[in-house]
């Protein structure tokens, strides 16, 4: 890495480092009560204990499985739905109003509903995340597919592509940029819904761990898990951005 690139990375993470320093200072000099904000070094020690005991890995794995499975369902169903509605008028007429009505509903309101249907385990979280993450993908795919240029469609057809082939070779790639940004939104929503549902109704998962540790009064451990969730969300988004950039390299 060149010196300039290193400098850029340094500048980028400098505010984060300053925030960490400010946190440590606030706790050390007791500017806020230590139960409201345990010092960062204590939190780090608690994190290490949690990691050693296996609690973090166990609950982290449960959470990632739920988020991953829910998101995967949302992407598949959302993409098919969005592209289907964009290319097939009957589907648009039948499902368009449902999508419009369901879109503004805060999906966290469904936490008790999915728990009622599928209980306290993985199923209810996966269903909740799938439902909550589906619509951003659907709308991205729909708008992207609708913006397909007709001259591209005609070109494919006159080069010998069947209708179905044209759908695959023109409509789907045309939908890709907007659909991929829809998936990025869905990724963020999946973390929100995951932690919210685990806090309320769960016996495992990072959200559950935060709630459990908080009600036990072990605040340094609680903060350790909160920071872990924040870090996981950040890393997931960065990795996704890399994938997205690669997939859309042709746009330059």
Partner 1 sequence: MTQIVIDKVRHMYRPARGRPVLALEDVSLEVGEQEFVALLGPSGCGKSTLLYLMGGFLPIESGTISVNGKAITGPGPDRGIVFQHFALFPWKTVLQNVLYGLERQNMPRDEREARARKFIDLVGLHGFEDNYPSQLSGGMKQRAAIARTLAVDPGILLMDEPFGALDAQTRALMQSELLGIWRASPKTVIFVTHDVQEAVYLAQRVVVMSARPGRVKAIIDTNFDKTAPDLLRSQKFGDMVDHIWGLVKEEAIKAQMGRAT
Least Å distance, CB 84 to partner 1, is: 21
Size of the site for partner 1 (CB under 8 A): 21
Q: Taking the complex as a whole, how short is the minimal distance between the CB of residue 166 and partner 1, in angstroms? A: 10
Least distance from partner 1 to the Cβ atom of residue 72, Å: 24
Binding mask of the shown chain, residues 147 to 176, with x at each position contacting partner 1 by CB under 8 A: --xxxx-xxxxxxxx---x---xx--x--x
Shortest distance in whole angstroms from residue 149 CB to partner 1: 7
Three-class SS string for the chain? CCHHHHHHHHHHHHHHHHHHHHHHHHHHCCCCCCCCCCCHHHHHHHHHHHHHHCHHHHHHHHHHHHHHHHHHHHHHHHHHHHHHHHHCHHHHHHHHHHHHHHCCCCHHHHHHHHHHHHCCCHHHHHHHHHHHHHHHHHHHHHHHHHCCCHHHHHHHHHCCCCHHHHHHHHHHHHHHHHHHHHHHHHHHHHHHHHHHHHHHCCCCCHHHHHHHHHHHCCHHHHHHHHHHHHHHHHHHHHHHHHHHHHHCHHHC
Give the pair of three-digit tokens for residue 83: 């592209």
Q: 42 vs 146, which CB is nearer to partner 1?
A: 146
Looking at beta carbons only, is 91 or 161 nearer to partner 1?
Answer: 161
Determine if 252 is a binding residue for partner 1 (CB under 8 A). yes
Give 121 or 173: the residue with its C-beta nearer to partner 1: 173
Q: Which is nearer to partner 1, 33 or 158 (CB)?
A: 158
Backbone φ and ψ of 96, nearest 5°: -50, -50
Closest distance between partner 1 and the C-beta of residue 161, in Å? 5
CB 10 within 8 A of CB 17: no
- Cβ(248)–Cβ(180) below 8 Å: yes
Closer residue to partner 1 in complex, CB, 70/182: 182
User: Could you give the string, one character per residue 221-250, with x where binding to partner 1 holds by CB under 8 A and - elsewhere?
Assistant: ----------------------------xx
Q: Smallest gap, in angstroms, from Cβ of residue 240 to partner 1? A: 19
Taking the least distance from each CB to partner 1, the nearer of 18 and 247 is: 247
What is the smallest separation between the CB atom of 153 and partner 1, expressed in angstroms?
A: 8
Residues that bind partner 1 (CB under 8 A): 149-152, 154-161, 165, 169-170, 173, 176, 249-252
């Amino acid at each position: 890495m060149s010196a300039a690139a290193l400098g850029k990375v340094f500048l980028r993470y400098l505010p984060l480092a300053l925030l960490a320093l400010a946190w440590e200072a606030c706790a050390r000099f007791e500017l806020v009560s230590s139960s409201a904000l345990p010092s960062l070094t204590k939190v780090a020690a608690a994190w290490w204990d949690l990691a050693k005991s296996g609690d973090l890995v166990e609950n982290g794995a449960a959470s990632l499985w739920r988020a991953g499975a829910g998101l995967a369902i949302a992407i598949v169903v959302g993409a098919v739905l969005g592209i289907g509605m964009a290319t097939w008028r009957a589907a648009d007429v039948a499902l368009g109003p449902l999508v419009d009505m369901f879109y503004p509903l805060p999906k966290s309101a469904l936490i008790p509903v999915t728990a009622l249907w599928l209980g306290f385990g993985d199923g209810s979280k996966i269903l909740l995340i799938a439902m909550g993450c589906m619509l951003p993908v659907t709308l991205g795919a729909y708008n992207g597919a609708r913006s397909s240029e007709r001259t591209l469609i005609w070109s494919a057809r006159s080069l010998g592509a069947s209708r179905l082939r044209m759908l695959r070779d023109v409509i789907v790639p045309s939908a890709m940029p907007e659909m991929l940004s829809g998936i990025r939104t869905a990724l963020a929503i999946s973390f929100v819904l995951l932690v919210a549902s685990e806090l309320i109704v769960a016996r495992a998962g990072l959200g559950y761990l935060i709630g459990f540790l908080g009600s036990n009064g072990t605040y340094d451990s609680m903060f350790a898990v909160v920071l872990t969730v924040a870090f996981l969300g950040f890393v997931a988004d960065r990795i996704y951005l890399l994938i997205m950039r690669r997939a859309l390299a042709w746009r330059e």
